[in-house]
């Protein structure tokens, strides 16, 4: 049986193409937005892990700020993160008395570590912080 397409079928196909043309850019923007948000969450988690590992080094007997910075730098470079700064408080770990808090703060600019929208998040810093008590 031969089916002859009616005029209304052609109009429906044209409407589907127009709907796709209108909705596809919006769907694409939402998809890339989800990717960027996921990347920022993973980046923040990586910074927290690096700060945690740096804090574990900082509470060891005889640890120095350079040891902490070396550990944190190694962890973030393994994960491909571009760092801005590493802050260790107090700066002189050897002089910190037993029972004092030692904080490691790792900062990375989101703009230097994003997938798609670089330049859109101009200098938004992401922090990963960990605090431990010096026991030795």
Q: In this structure, is residue 115 part of a structural domain?
A: yes
Q: What is the chain's pLDDT, residue by residue, as a tens digit (136 residues)? A: 565 655 566 566 778 888 899 999 999 999 988 988 898 999 999 999 999 999 999 999 999 999 999 999 999 999 999 998 999 999 999 899 999 999 999 999 988 888 776 666 677 899 999 999 998 7
- For the chain, where are the alpha helices, taking DSSP H only? 7-58, 65-78
Q: What is the model's pLDDT at position 2?
A: 60
Q: In this structure, is residue 23 part of a structural domain?
A: yes
Q: In this structure, is residue 32 part of a structural domain?
A: yes
Q: In this structure, is residue 38 part of a structural domain?
A: yes
Q: What is the model's pLDDT at position 72?
A: 97
How many domains are there within the chain?
A: 1
- Tell me the whole-structure pTM to 2 decimals: 0.82
CATH number of domain containing 25:
3.30.1300
Q: What is the model's pLDDT at position 36?
A: 87
Q: In this structure, is residue 4 part of a structural domain?
A: no
> Which strand ranges, in their side-by-side order, compose the sheet holding 125-133?
85-89, 101-109, 125-133
Q: In this structure, is residue 3 part of a structural domain?
A: no
List the domain range (segments joined by +) for residue 67: 9-133
Q: What is the model's pLDDT at position 113?
A: 86
Among residues 43, 46, 131, 45, which one has the least CA distance to residue 87? Answer: 131
């Amino acid at each position: 049986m031969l089916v002859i397409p009616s005029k209304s079928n052609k109009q429906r196909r044209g409407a589907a193409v127009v709907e796709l043309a209108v909705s596809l850019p919006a769907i694409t923007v939402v998809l890339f937005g989800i990717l960027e948000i996921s990347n920022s969450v993973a980046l923040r988690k990586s910074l927290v892990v690096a700060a945690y590992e740096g804090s574990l080094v900082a509470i060891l007997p005889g640890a120095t700020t350079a040891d902490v910075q070396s550990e944190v730098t190694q962890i973030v470079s393994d994960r491909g993160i571009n760092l801005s700064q590493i802050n260790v408080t107090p700066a002189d770990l050897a002089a910190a008395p037993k029972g004092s808090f030692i904080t490691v703060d790792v900062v990375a600019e989101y703009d230097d570590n994003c997938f798609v929208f670089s330049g859109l998040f101009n200098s938004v810093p992401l922090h990963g912080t960990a605090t431990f008590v010096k026991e030795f």
